[in-house]
Amino acid sequence: MSGLTNKHIGVAADRRSEAITSLIENLGGRASVYPIQGKQVLHEERCVRNVKDYLDEPFDLVVLTTGIGARTLNNAASERKLSRAFVKKLNTETLAVRGSKTMDWLKENEIQPALVAADGTMKDLVERIQKEAASGGRLFLQAYDQDDAVWKESLEQLGFSVYLSKPYTFEKPSLSIIDNLKNAIFAGELDAVVFTSKTQVKNLFEKDADRSRLTASFEKDVTAVAVGKVTAEELAGQGISTVIQPARPKMGAMVVTLDRYYKAKASEIKK
């Protein structure tokens, strides 16, 4: 019997929510989707300006932090017939990257980075830059509005002059959807909630008035599940001591890991 049999799982994701739901249902569980990521907003004019600045100006280090960001910049370059020049210049740069989706885009374009965050986090990447990259000089940082100021400042403290590129941002999700998820958690209707980004965690825990109650619910009745280390660290930062996460940050692996977690718990109860 599957560990997810008769389990009700909340899905906080928007993108890939159908695929996650199918995986849960295939393992005998039931899924309810609460898309609390917020709407992604692409800033086309800003992207075009960033691409032109990147092509026109010299940079000593390029930092790419998300696959969506890298693709969005390349799409903007393509619309201006600059994609070939964009990819060609990236191939000649010292690149520092984080995230599996970023690596996927680089592989598609046969680009080899010099530095890669071993655990997928910006913290690890900044530490690697500090240890292995020449300090100072101009740095092109592709980020988005989640902690971008923090990482910009961290890199500036290493002596870099940072050019910040934010190809996209996320609008706040509907408050009613957040409230629906909170109510389902508080009412004990969900056995677990799966999160695929730190943004989802931040949006759920944004209200101070509900924070301690949410943490208590995850500590007692509801299992917190993260797709990867960045999301898991955000959940841990909210005071949640047990967070289930896969060895590799993949959606399928996340659901399988949760299934195995429940199987192990069931075996312990039988003993």
- Listed residues 114, 137, 170: the one ending a domain: 170
Are residues 76 and 127 located together in one domain of the fold?
Answer: yes
User: Residue 227: inside a domain, yes or no?
Assistant: yes
User: Residue 3: inside a domain, yes or no?
Assistant: no
Q: Looking at residue 263, what is its pLDDT?
A: 94
Are residues 166 and 44 located together in one domain of the fold?
Answer: yes
Are residues 48 and 156 located together in one domain of the fold?
Answer: yes
Are residues 48 and 63 located together in one domain of the fold?
Answer: yes
User: Residue 90: inside a domain, yes or no?
Assistant: yes
Are residues 166 and 176 located together in one domain of the fold?
Answer: no
Are residues 185 and 262 located together in one domain of the fold?
Answer: yes
Total domains present in the chain: 2
**Other Cβ atoms closer than 10 A to 71:** 18
Q: Looking at residue 270, what is its pLDDT?
A: 65
User: Residue 184: inside a domain, yes or no?
Assistant: yes
Torsion angles phi and psi, residue 231, rounded to 5: -65, -40
Nearest in space to 205 (alpha carbons), one of 180, 182, 183, 224 = 182
Are residues 110 and 148 located together in one domain of the fold?
Answer: yes
Q: Looking at residue 147, what is its pLDDT?
A: 76
- Listed residues 154, 170, 186: the one ending a domain: 170
User: Residue 247: inside a domain, yes or no?
Assistant: yes
Cα separation of 102 and 207, whole Å?
A: 31
Q: Looking at residue 257, what is its pLDDT?
A: 98
- Listed residues 133, 153, 170: the one ending a domain: 170
Q: What is the pLDDT of residues 130-145, one digit of tens each?
A: 998 877 899 999 997 6
Nearest in space to 93 (alpha carbons), one of 70, 72, 76 = 70
Q: What is the pLDDT of residues 228-263, one digit of tens each?
A: 999 999 999 999 999 999 998 899 999 999 999 999
Segments forming the whole domain that contains residue 146: 40-170
Are residues 45 and 143 located together in one domain of the fold?
Answer: yes
User: Residue 1: inside a domain, yes or no?
Assistant: no
DSSP class per residue in the chain = --TTTT-EEEE--STTHHHHHHHHHHTT-EEEE---S--EEE-HHHHHHHHHHHHHS--SEEEE--HHHHHHHHHHHHHTT-HHHHHHHHHHS-EEE-SHHHHHHHHHTT---SEE-TTS-HHHHHHHHHHHSPSSSEEEEE--SSSHHHHHHHHHHTT-EEEEE--EEEPPPPHHHHHHHHHHHHTT--SEEEESSHHHHHHHT--HHHHHHHHHHHHHT-EEEESSHHHHHHHHHTT-S-EE--SS--HHHHHHHHHHHHHHHHHHHH-
Structure tokens at 83: 């994609």
Are residues 163 and 45 located together in one domain of the fold?
Answer: yes
User: Residue 82: inside a domain, yes or no?
Assistant: yes
Are residues 20 and 49 located together in one domain of the fold?
Answer: no
**Which segments in the chain show pLDDT lower than 50?**
none
Q: What is the CATH number of the domain that holds 162?
A: 3.40.50.10090
User: Residue 151: inside a domain, yes or no?
Assistant: yes
- Residue 224, strand partner residues: 193, 243
